[in-house]
Structure 1
């Protein structure tokens, strides 16, 4: 049943040879890898306005120059990451660049920041999508957590079906959002040009009461949340069709052009319409209502906005598993992240991302607005490290025309580092936890790496000097009586060794005498040792006996504990039996010099 359900949800398994078909075209990649960046159109302007409104309505004029500054930063990042794509066509983005040019610890800082940020991306994007739905249908507000978890489950299943199939389906709402927002901007501009909009307060006085450099920098840093997701293309180059680096670079340029245009359009309309943020309605919702009224077009825009905010999480689903794979390949994360699933995706990474983001939403009860600064800082740290790593690369290699590349990355590094400082200064109360969390994450990376290295050293042999040691085998068979399960186990044990000891734990003298009599009558040819347990424990006397055998025979023989175990026909039958064999096996697994073997006997009824 479970297998049939898995096939229904995920689809048929794909052969390894079909991996080449699971690559993305530019059209699909733009939808999958740009959804996070494009979705920020729905909340980037709003984050700027929320800060400016602390001064007053007249301060909203500053949203225009701040938006222009954000657009300039976007241009720098696009040019910088375009260089990274060609320099590191194998993908990995900031992690690979930082590790190779700035050292392993810095690479782990970049990789850890991105992994945490991808979890936050899913949580924040899904919550923002839920907000868009509840703005249009306020009655659903109390069910926001359930809606968010359902959407995470949907995206997880879609990505488990494979990146190509998910891209084919999810591309439509992404491009629908772009088309509808373009229509909204064009209609809004036409309405404004035709005089159908009441002009917003036109104040260019730089001495507005209450405004300060601190407020402007805080608003700018808030607007920079619109730039999250820009790095995803450089992380996921292996997902592109050949030539991968050229297709990735073109996709990045298209994403920058679309994002910049939509962001500036929404910012301009928000100012000209005199839009102010409201807790119960988003800025995009207010612009759409002012432009089209609350008719079909309004609800279409709200629906597409909710979809793109939900699908922004899909960028993380494309990038998180690939980055986790690269770090696992370098032995900094568990090996399970290197395994491809039935549909050739990194299934473990997809599932872990979905589970962790769902837990975060439940903890925050769907209110993840406070995570946006942390989410943005988690991106700008890798931004800065990536630019610094590329600067070092150009300086060391000095290829033809390196000076221009070095200048672009230098400007990028200075700008993104400045943004990090602005975040720390203006939003320290919201981002301080990253200074505790990231060191813990990096510590676990180092411990995982150390474990794998120690394990490899311990398991490594010299084929020329070391050969298997041939020894005898003492087999200990714990028995609970004379029955077919024991008969089956002793028969198997005799095929391996003649040195077999059956062990029975009796709770009183009568029990011991009855068992001894039955064993003599059976005459199995195997010696029976009866242990008495005054405290009705099977494990304690059995372990003491095994210790004695091990101490006496460790130099000449292996010690194998062969456990009889019956397998019930139905799963619920297990609850009707003590299953002592499972407890014995679980305890003995931690013993260094004892081999545990289970001999199953399948019941027919």
Structure 2
């Protein structure tokens, strides 16, 4: 049977190799000696098929939210629980619960995430906000270094800007090749891991995550600077304002606000129009004086102009390229044909970025603007073009809004990278699951904490944060493009030489910027980013080592399989059906009682059904199944899968094992485990309220306390959610490693 097909990029269920498949057959034969599948299937007292959730394609967004109600399984409304209003015990617990619900809204168990397919006109502003908004701080970062050399230093602004424009073009063209090679989305982590290996992939992931953290910090710092330039009296409150904005982003993303096209497109288009208008008015004004530059104010030279100064300015200005990768990550979000629409949108984005960046630098030269601690460069240009009227206010408002949108983009991408790392066992498994508002809550909270610490530590100053920025961005760019070079060299399909040349050019230029930023800005703060990448690599490798150790312990072994007590003769007659007379220990078919009262007074009055949620066919799962079967009560195995391909793969494994117990596979339209489990068990309870449902969970228990955070604890969450229902028992079967 092989590995049951290639795994998708988002697959969570680990594939079984040939040895494990062979052992699974052997384990199935051992079960066959002590059990008969027909007996277990006939003894099942419920109809396990309770319907299905809609597929992602069937879930359509309504209004501005991304959470859409889903019809409950079994046709029964979900029972009220903690997610629907139950208060925790204690005054402090109730207070915390009310605060959480006011800030985040009610927890939603019976909902799914609506997936939008974006057309190009919507995808352009939503996915380009990070890249285009960098025009607000990229040119200023370059000028802030050159101004140290006085007038002589500023003379280099045009040649450096031209070099950055060429770099933008080269990297943009190289990412067009990435989209062609990875039509299902090819972020730096995936591309580098596939083509360069595990360690380069982790380094690329470290660069990406550093980039996302700094995207939030830098975008918020630059957005607050746009506000304080228009309202100078707020300058002393820049840090509290920025922290407040980050808190709003946290609350919004935890609530599950989707990036609705029209709403989130408006700030980007407004910013594009504002900068185009600013440049157009400035050029008309400059034409009236024969394009003679306005004299710059007197500058005090504090540093001699040399190679080091020019390289630092080049590295700082190159931060205007951040966000170019976003479209290649989000190819599946486009309407068909996805890869073609993504390439077209990327071309538009790069074209707009080139024009906006070049136009801003040209206006700086013509208007004689220099960086100031009191007002941003873009604000000064807007004053020159629009004065202090409504157009100036609109320009500053659009700038602040697009920078806020750019920061929000990181809240979508950072948890996604953490999910991929957790899937590959390089990050704790808690980053695989969604929160009660169906967002990657743990990743969102981690990003917020990191970005807030960085923002406060650098006093919310854009100029102080820029040296950290270029290192992570261009480290990811370099490894991604180098991975594409290897990809084309291996594939050698049509036009491979042209694609390889473009990606090699992008890799070389990105490496130049990375080395330049790392060397010239090391003492200014780049060492923090380098140290963060190093620590990230060490931590993720240690996490991977732990999961590999646990994985080896959980692998099927022929002499470590627990079997239930024999319930049938070793060799039953193939024509004989099991009966109570011949199989006194067989699972008992239950009467069709319909009472819900908890009034059983003797053991004989209790009717049982054991439900075993099983994620994968390993030793822990086998032990839980054996334990449930050994109770000689009806058993139902339950597998929750995030996609149909993965569900089918698990069914194949189950069939290979022998289908000894009844199995129900629920394909959930969202990446959550507890929510669909609760939903399904509630539906079972509504179908047979007389049954005592015992949920038996396999649990991995680590001997060392420090590793326990790496393993999800589903049982307490499930117990908490199902507490309001009668006759529900939650228990675990521990597997110690």
TM-score band (shorter)? 0.7 to 0.9
Q: Which runs of 5+ in 2 are unaligned?
A: 1-84, 86-96, 297-302, 566-597, 607-700, 705-714, 725-737
**The one of 103, 122, 127 aligned to 1:28:** 122
CA distance in 2: counterparts of 1:469 and 1:127, whole angstroms: 62
Shift in Å at residue 382 of structure 1?
A: 1.1
Q: CA deviation at 1:148?
A: 1.0
Q: Which residue of 1 aligns with 2:503?
A: 409
CA shift, 1:261, in A, is 0.7
Partner of 1:110: 204
Structure 1 residue aligned with 2:386: 292
Deviations 1:359-414 (A, max 9, x none): 32233332353221221111101111111111111111211111111111111111
Deviations 1:91-131 (A, max 9, x none): 24111111111110010000111112101110111111111
Shift of 1:287: 0.8
SS of residue matched to 1:150: helix
Q: Give 1:42 shift.
A: 0.8
Match of 1:332 in 2: 426
1:83 aligns with 2:177: yes
Separation (CA, whole Å) in 2 of partners of 1:12 and 1:172? 30
RCO higher in structure (CA 8 A, sep ≥6): 2
User: Contact 1:182 / 1:262 at 8 angstroms: preserved in 2?
Assistant: yes
Distance (Å, rounded) in 2 between the aligned partners of 1:129 and 1:447: 38
Deviates more, 1:265-274 or 1:90-99: 90-99
Superposed displacement of residue 464, structure 1: 8.8
Contact residue 387 and residue 409 of structure 1 kept, 8 A = yes
8 Å Cα contact 1:22/1:163 also seen in 2 = no
Please list, as runs of the form range in 1=range in 2, the aligned pairs for 1:492-507 lying within 5 A after superposition. Answer: none
Q: Spell out, residue by residue over 1:484-534, the C-alpha distance to the aligned partner (whole angstroms, 9 max, x if none).
A: xxxx9xx999999xxxxxxxxxxxxxxxxxxxxxxxxxxxxxxxxxxxxxx
1:41–1:263 Cα contact (<8 Å) kept: yes
Task: State whether structure 2 residue 460 is matched by structure 1 residue 361.
Answer: no
Per the TM alignment, residue 301 of structure 1 is displaced from its structure 2 partner at its CA by: 1.0
> What is the aligned counterpart of 1:41 among 135, 140, 160?
135
Partner residue in 2 for 1:275? 369
Q: Given the alignment of the two structures, is residue 123 of structure 1 paired with residue 217 of structure 2, yes or no?
A: yes
How is 1:503-582 mapped onto 2 (pairs within 5 angstroms)?
A: none
Partner of residue 252, structure 1: 346
CA drift at 1:469: 7.1
Q: Secondary structure of 2:156's partner?
A: helix
Indicate the residue corresponding to 1:447 in structure 2: 542
**Residues 139-538 of structure 1 aligned to structure 2 (within 5 Å):** 139-162=233-256, 164-195=258-289, 199-200=293-294, 210-341=304-435, 344-429=438-523, 430-462=525-557, 466-468=561-563
Q: CA deviation at 1:14?
A: 8.4
1:33 touches 1:314 (CA, 8 Å); kept in 2?
A: no
Distance in 2 between residues matched to 1:32 and 1:6, nearest whole Å: 28
2 CA distance for matches of 1:3 and 1:335? 28
Aligned to 1:554: none
Q: Is the radius of gyration larger for structure 1 or structure 2?
A: 1
For residues 169-189 of structure 1, the C-alpha deviation after alignment (integer angstroms, 9 at most, x for no partner) is 222112111111111111111
Q: Is contact 2:470–2:514 with CA below 8 Å preserved after alignment?
A: no
Per-residue deviation, 1:441 = 0.5
TM-score for both structures, normalised by structure 1: 0.72
How far did 1:84 drift? 0.8
Change in Cα spacing, 1:61 to 1:601, as seen in structure 2 (3 Å) is: closer
Give yes or no for contact 2:103–2:251 (8 Å, CA) kept in 1: no
How many Å separate the matches in 2 of 1:145 and 1:157? 19
1:200-256 Cα offsets, whole Å, 9 max, x none, are 359xxxxxx943333222221211010111112222334334433223222211211
Taking the aligned partners of 2:448 and 2:425, their CA distance within structure 1 comes to 23
Cα displacement string for residues 273-317 of structure 1 (whole angstroms, at most 9, x for unaligned residues): 000111111111111111111121111111211222222212212
Aligned 8 A contact 2:141 2:466 in 1:
no
**Matched-pair contact (CA < 8 Å) for 2:119–2:334:** yes
**Partners of 2:261 and 2:102 in 1: how far apart?**
19
Deviations 1:312-347 (A, max 9, x none): 212212221222221211111122222234565433
Q: Distance in 2 between matches of 1:433 and 1:158?
A: 29
Aligned equivalents of 1:240, 1:249: Cα separation in 2: 10
Task: Tell me which residue corresponds to 1:52.
Answer: 146
The answer as to whether partners of 1:177 and 1:304 remain within 8 angstroms in 2 is yes
State how many pairs are aligned.
481
Q: In the superposition, relative to structure 1, how do residues 196 and 166 fare at CA in structure 2: closer, same or farther (>3 Å)?
A: farther
| Secondary structure of the structure 2 residue equivalent to 1:89 | coil
Unaligned runs of 5+ in 1: 203-208, 471-487, 497-588
Q: CA 1:256–1:369 in structure 2 vs 1: closer, same or farther (change >3 Å)?
A: same
- Contact 1:129 / 1:307 at 8 angstroms: preserved in 2? yes
C-alpha distance in structure 2 between counterparts of 1:159 and 1:247, whole Å: 27
Alignment equivalent of 1:99, drawn from 177, 193, 201: 193
The 1:492–1:402 alpha-carbon spacing in structure 2 relative to 1, beyond 3 Å, is farther
What is the CA RMSD across the aligned residues, in angstroms?
3.4
Q: Determine the C-alpha separation between the residues in 2 that align with 1:355 and 1:242.
A: 37
Q: Is the 8 A contact 1:228 1:379 kept in 2?
A: yes
Cα pair distance change 1:365/1:53, threshold 3 Å? closer
User: Is 2:141–2:313's contact at 8 Å kept on the other side of the alignment?
Assistant: yes
- How far apart in 2 are the matches of 1:9 and 1:425? 44
Whichever structure has more helix as a proportion of its residues is 1
Say which SS state the counterpart of residue 155 (structure 2) adopts.
helix
- The whole-number CA distance in structure 1 between the counterparts of 2:309 and 2:498 is 34
1:99 counterpart SS class: helix
Change (3 A) 1:244 1:342: farther
